[in-house]
Structure formats: structure tokens, C-alpha cells
Amino acid sequence: MASKRPKGERAAGGRDAACGTGKYFPMVSAGGRRLLGADHSGVALATAQAKYPHVPTEKHSLQDLPYQGEFDGVMCVDAMEFGFTGRLALGVGSLSARSDSGGWLYLTVELGPEDRVSEVNREARKLRFPVVDGEWVEPDGFYHHYPSMDAVRAWVGEAEFVIYEEAEGPWHEEEYSYHHVLAHL
């Protein structure tokens, strides 16, 4: 986010929404920015605090972030695939409400091979499971959602963000890739 910010634009602080164990804290803090991590998992937050005690954390779900306009950037990395379809749209809207006017959003969306995701959806429907397009449930209960990028772009637009730049990352063993979205209010 910081490298794409136009010259002269302030860089106050950011929020790592769905921060997990703080994987990206060092990268953000290295730039001297104020950072606040939020996640719904108390265990993940305890791990983040043990590893990075200088970064404050708070327990909140992605859809219920409590701050309004206190950050000039919000990032949600490697987390959206664990949300339910309708809640993902609410989560993107919540990120918008939490960014300062003119704020930035950096979001990654995990992509799965479309043919395999469609096959898993067909198999689930044959069993009369109430799945929506893009849902992936493993026999052990592991859940992923691979929304279409058209749906993600619509959610970003509904949250009043304008996409500034997008890029698809490399595919890992042809099993998944991350689509990177940088958007601005």
C-alpha cells in the first residue's frame, strides 16, 4: 500500500484485519507505521502478541471491526477464503467503513482451479448440500470459498472503493494462486 501511495500523501497508520498470528506485522511496522492487528481468534492473537509485543491487537471479527475512519489503510491478506459468501461482502464493506476518507484497501483473494472448484460444487449438489458457487468443503470439514473475481470486484465497488491495481500471483503447484487487489476510497 505504501509504495503505491501518491507522493505527498500521508502515511499515518493501518489495520491488519484478520491478522492471524501477525505474519505481516514486521513488513508493515518496518516502514514506521502505526499498526493495529485484529482477528476473531484469541489463540492467533496471543501468538501474534508473543511474537510482536510492540503491535497492539484486538479481538474482532472481520464483519464487526469497531473503528470508524481511524486508519489510512486496511489490509486483509490470506483470510477472505475462510469466510462465508454473504459474510465476505459484509467484510469488504466493514473494511471500507474502517478506512479514513481517501483510505486504501489491500486485499488478497485465494483462487482455486475453476474446473476443480466447479467439480467439487457439482459433487456437493448431487448430495443435496446447500452450497453456493465457489464453496469448497473437504471431507474433514476444512472450508474454503473461492469467489469469482467479478463478485469480489462488485463487493469492492459496493463498499465505495475504486480498484487502483490488480495482479494475479503465481500458481502454486497448480492448486491455488492469490489475486491481489489494491483499492482506494
The CATH class of 12-111+148-184 is alpha beta
Mean pLDDT for the stretch of residues 15-42: 88
What is the predicted pLDDT for the residue at 57?
A: 94
Is the per-residue pLDDT at 158 higher than 50? yes
What integer pLDDT is reported at residue 79 of this predicted model? 82
Q: Does residue 27 or residue 8 have the better pLDDT?
A: 27
Look at 70 and 54; give whichever has higher pLDDT.
Answer: 54
Secondary structure (3-state) at 164: strand
At 73, the pLDDT band (50, 70, 90 cuts) reads: confident
pLDDT tens profile 80-98: 787 765 555 556 666 665 5
1 SS3 class: coil
Using pLDDT thresholds of 50, 70 and 90, give the confidence band for residue 71.
Answer: confident
Residue 43 pLDDT level (bands cut at 50, 70, 90): very high
Distance CA 185, CA 93 (A): 11
Q: Is 40 exposed, middle or buried (0-12, 13-18, 19+ CB in 10 A)?
A: middle
pLDDT of residue 80: 78
Where do the structural domains in the chain lie, given as residue ranges? Answer: 12-111+148-184
Q: Who wins on pLDDT, 8 or 33?
A: 33
User: If DSSP states are collapsed to H, E and C, what string results for 25-46?
Assistant: HHHHHCCCCEEEEEECCHHHHH
Evaluate if residue 6 carries a pLDDT over 50.
no
Cβ neighbours of 92 (radius 10 Å): 27
Question: In the prediction, which pLDDT does 4 show?
Answer: 54
